[in-house]
Amino acid sequence: MTVLGDVVGRSSVVVCCGSGGVGKTTTAAAIGLEAARGGRRVVVVTIDPARRLADALGLRDGLSGEPQQLPVDVGDGEMWAMMLDAPAMFERVVRANAADPDQADRIVANAFYRNMATALSGTQEYMASEALYELHTDERFDLVVVDTPPSRNAIEFLEAPGVLTRFLDHKAFKLMMLPTRTGLKVFGAATQPMLRLIGKVVGSDVLGDAVAFFQTFAGMEVGFRERADAVATLLRATGTEFVLVTSPQRDALVEAAWFADQLSERGYGVATTVVNRVHPRFGDGSVADARKRADAAADSGRAELAATWANLAALREVAERERAEVEALLGHTGAPVVDVPLLPTDVHDLDSLDHLGRYLFAVG
Amino acid sequence: MSDGDVETNSNPLGPLITSRLVVVAGKGGVGKTTVTAVLARAAADAGRRVLVVELDGKPTLDGWLSDVEVRHISASTSLEEYLLDHGFRRIAKRLTKTGVIEVIGTAAPGIDDLVVLGKIKQLERSGEWDLIVVDGPAAGHAVTFLTTPAGLRDAVSSGPVAEQAEDVLAMLADPARCSIVLVTLPESTPVNELLETASAIRCRVGAGLGPVVVNRLDEGPEPPDPADVDFGRATVQIDDARAAAAFRRERIAVQADELARVTDEFATVIRLPWRPVADLGPTDIADLAAALETTPEAPESSSESST
C-alpha cells in the first residue's frame, strides 16, 4: 500500500491544506476519486469561489450547496461533491440552534448578521468546519475530503470552530448584549460613552443593528459552543488526516513549512505532503552528462542534436533545484513527500484527474 | 528607445501604466509579488520615486528591492491611525487595548479593508511618490477588497466611514490615479479566472484595468521535434532526451494557445518569461524589469484607448 493510499484507506476525514494556487482543490478531488474507486462513499467539499473543483470534475454548470453525486464510474463506491455556500450554511446553523422559528427569523433578517454571514473574516472557514462535521455525521458518506478555504492564513481553518464562541466571550460583546445593565459593571462608568463612540465611528445605525443582533442571539451561545467543541474534537480524532499540499515555488514551500510547524505545535500530524507541479526529471542521468553531450554535438556542428541535449540538461537542472528546495524547507517535518510531476497541460477533466491520481497513488 | 518622448517620461512605466497607484492582483501562486517587484524595479530604474506596499505582512519583498521603500500596511495599525486622525486621539489607545476595535471591525465588516485602502489613498494624495505599487490580495479577495468601499458607503449613511468610503471610491474610479494590474499564468484555469476577475472589476468595482501580465511564459529555446533529430551513435538516455523535448514543445504550444486567449481579450499584455530557477533573486528581477521595456509589440506612438 502506498503512503497516500494508506491514508485514504484508513481515514474518515481528510483535510487538504496549503496556500492558494498550489492545486489543493484538484488534489482533494483526486484523493476522493481514488477512495471511491476503493469502494468508499466519498464526499468532497470545496469552498473556492472560483469553482475550481467543478472545473476539475468537468462540471460545466458548477456545484450546488447540496452534496451531488457525480456521474463517474467508481465501481461499488460513490463519489459526491459539494460546494460550500457559507451564508446558507450559517442560516442552517442558526435555525438548528434557535429556540423557535421566530428567533431564527429575526436573526437572519438582521443587517449585522447578514454582514457577518457574508463578510466576517473567518466565516468561510467556520462554515467549512460546520459542513465537515455535518457530512461526517451524515450516514450517506464514510469519507469526507475537505479542500480548505484559500485563507491568507491557512491556520484559520483550525481555529474556525471557535471563532464565534471566542467572539461571544469577548468583554465588548457582553457590553453590547446588555448595554444598560451588566455591561456597566463590566466596563465601569465608561460604558455608555464607549458605545456612543463606537457609534460615531461606524455610524449609529450599524451599531444599532449590532446591538439588536446580540440581544436576539441571547440563549443560543450554548448550542454554538457545544458544536464548536464537537468540531474541534473531530479535527483531532484518529480518523482525521491532514494532507499538506504545496508547489515547489519558494513562497509556497515557506508557507507549507510554516503550516506544518503550526500543525505539529497544536498536536496534529501531517500525514503526507503532496508537492504538485514538480518538473519531471527525465531519467536517472546527470545534468552534467546531458550538458557534455550538448557540447559535443555543438562542437561537431549538429545544432538540432545539441539543442535536444541542452533542453534535457535545462529541465533536469530545474527538477534538481526544486527537489533541493523541497528537502531544505520541508525535510524537517518528517512527513512522507509525494511528488506530482508538472503536466504540460492543465488538469481540467476526469481523465487528467486520473493522471494526477496515478502519481498520487503510484506504487514505489 | 523612447527616452526623447515627453509623454513616456512623465509616466514611470511609459505607455504601459499611466496611473500613480497600481494594485497588482491575481490568484494565489501566479507570481503577484514577482510582478510587484518587477514593476517597482522598472520604475525605479527609470529614476522615479517608487513605493511598494505589502498587505499580507509577508516581508517577501525586502530582499529583492534594496533601494526601494517597502511599507507593510495592516488593518489594525491603519484603523488605529485612522481613529487618531479623526478626532478619537484620546480614546484610540484604550479602544485598541480593550479589544473594542475588534468589535468595530465586526460591527462594520470590511472596515479593515476600507482603512487599508484609506491609508493607501493618503499615500497616493501625499504626492511623495511617482508610483505606488500594491502587492494586492488573491483574485477572489481582490474583488471583495476593492468592492468594500461601495458596500460600506451604501451601508453607512454618514460619519467618517462614509466619507472615507467616498474618497476611496473617487480614487478607484479615476484611471489617472489608480489602475488594477491583473496577473495570470499561461494555463487554462488561471486564464479562466483572469477573465472572471476582469469582468468583476469592470462591473462591480468600477476601477480601470491596467495591462494584464502573463507570468512564467516559457520562451524557449524550443527544442526541435525529436522525430527529426538524428542521435547518431548515441544509445544511452535518448528516450529521456526525446521525452524532455516532447514535454517542452507541448508546454510551449499549450502556453501559446492560452496566451492567445489573453491577447484576444485585452489591449495591453505584458509577457514575463519563465525563469528556470526556483527562487528569484534581485538580479532576476532586474533582468525581468529590463525585459519589460521591450515587451509591448504595439508601436509606442499608438493611440490605444484604456478600454
Q: What is the DSSP string of B93-124?
A: HHHHHHTHHHHHHHHSTTHHHHHHHHHHHHHH
In sequence order, which ranges of chain B are alpha helices (DSSP H)? 6-10, 32-45, 75-85, 89-98, 100-107, 111-126, 139-155, 160-173, 188-200, 238-265, 282-293
When pLDDT is cut at 50, 70 and 90, the band that residue B194 belongs to is very high
- Min Cα separation B23/chain A (Å): 17
Q: Do B161 and A345 touch (CB under 8 A)?
A: no
Is the model's pLDDT at B226 over the cut of 60? yes
A49 neighbourhood in chain B, CB within 8 Å: 140
Establish if B170 belongs to a structural domain.
yes
Q: From the list A201, A251, A316, which residue is nearest B88 (CB)?
A: A201
What pLDDT is stored for residue A208 in this prediction? 76
Pick the CATH number of A3-282+320-360 from 3.30.450.40, 3.40.50.880, 3.40.50.300, 3.20.20.140: 3.40.50.300
pLDDT at B56 over 70: no
> Quick check: A166 contacting B, CB < 8 Å?
no
> Which positions 212-271 of B are in contact with A (Cβ < 8 Å)?
221, 223-224, 226, 228-232, 234, 236-237, 239-245, 247-248, 250-251, 254
The answer to whether position B12 is within a domain reads no
- Cβ-defined contact of A312 to B241 (cutoff 8 Å): yes
Residue A189 has a pLDDT of 39
**Distance (Å) from the C-alpha of residue B108 to the closest C-alpha of chain A?**
7
Q: Give the best-scoring range by mean pLDDT among A125-129, B47-51, B93-97.
A: B47-51
Contact between A356 and A27 under an 8 Å Cβ cutoff? The reply is yes
A170, B241: Cβ pair inside 8 Å? Answer: no
Q: Is residue B165's pLDDT more than 60?
A: yes
Chain B interface test: which of A47, A51, A206 (most B C-beta within 10 Å): A206
- Cα–Cα distance list, B93 to A185, B77, B80, B81, B114 (Å): 21, 11, 8, 10, 20
pLDDT averaged over chain B? 79
pLDDT of residue B141 exceeding 80, the answer is no
- State the smallest CA–CA distance between residue A5 and chain B in angstroms: 27
Q: Do B187 and A21 touch (CB under 8 A)?
A: no
Say what the ipTM of the complex is: 0.78
Q: Is A318 on the interface with B (CB under 8 A)?
A: yes
B104/B107 Cα distance (integer angstroms): 5
* Cα-based torsion angle of the residue sequence A55, A2, A144, B191 in order, rounded to the nearest 10 degrees: -20
Residue B273 lies in domain: 17-293
pLDDT at A174: 63
What pLDDT does B9 receive? 39
- The pLDDT, as a whole number, for residue B177 is 92
List the grid coordinates of B277.
530557477
User: In the structure, what pLDDT confidence band is assigned to residue B103 with cuts at 50, 70 and 90?
Assistant: low
Going residue by residue through chain A, which has 364 residues, state the pLDDT in tens, using 9 for 90 and above. 567 888 888 899 999 988 777 888 888 888 998 899 999 999 999 876 445 566 666 666 667 778 888 888 888 899 998 888 888 888 998 998 899 999 999 999 988 788 777 766 567 788 888 889 999 999 999 999 998 876 555 567 777 777 666 666 666 666 665 544 443 333 333 455 666 666 776 667 777 777 778 778 877 878 888 888 898 899 889 899 999 999 888 778 888 888 888 888 888 878 899 999 899 999 999 999 999 999 999 999 999 999 999 999 999 999 999 999 899 989 988 888 998 888 777 656 666 677 778 888 876 5
**Is B84 within a domain?**
yes
Residue B120: pLDDT over 90: yes
* Contact between chains at B103 and A200 (C-beta distance less than 8 A): no
Q: What is the grid cell recorded at B197?
A: 476577475
Smallest Cβ–Cβ distance between B244 and the set A206, A282, A346 belongs to A282
Provide the domain count of chain B: 1
Q: Looking at the predicted structure, is the pLDDT value of residue B298 above 50?
A: no
Say what the pTM is: 0.80
Q: Which of residues 7-66 of A touch B (CB under 8 A)?
A: 19-22, 48-50, 52, 55
With respect to residue B1, please indicate whether it lies within any of the assigned structural domains: no
> Do A260 and A244 contact (CB within 8 A), yes or no?
yes
Residue A290 contacts B, CB cutoff 8 Å: yes
| Cβ–Cβ gap A202/B157 under 8 Å | no
Cα(A315)–Cα(A295) distance, rounded to whole angstroms? 16
Q: Is the pLDDT of residue B98 over 70?
A: no
pLDDT at B101 over 90: no
- Whole-Å CA distances, A79 to A30, A119, A276, B126: 11, 31, 23, 56
B300 is a domain residue: no
CATH no. for residue B157?
Answer: 3.40.50.300
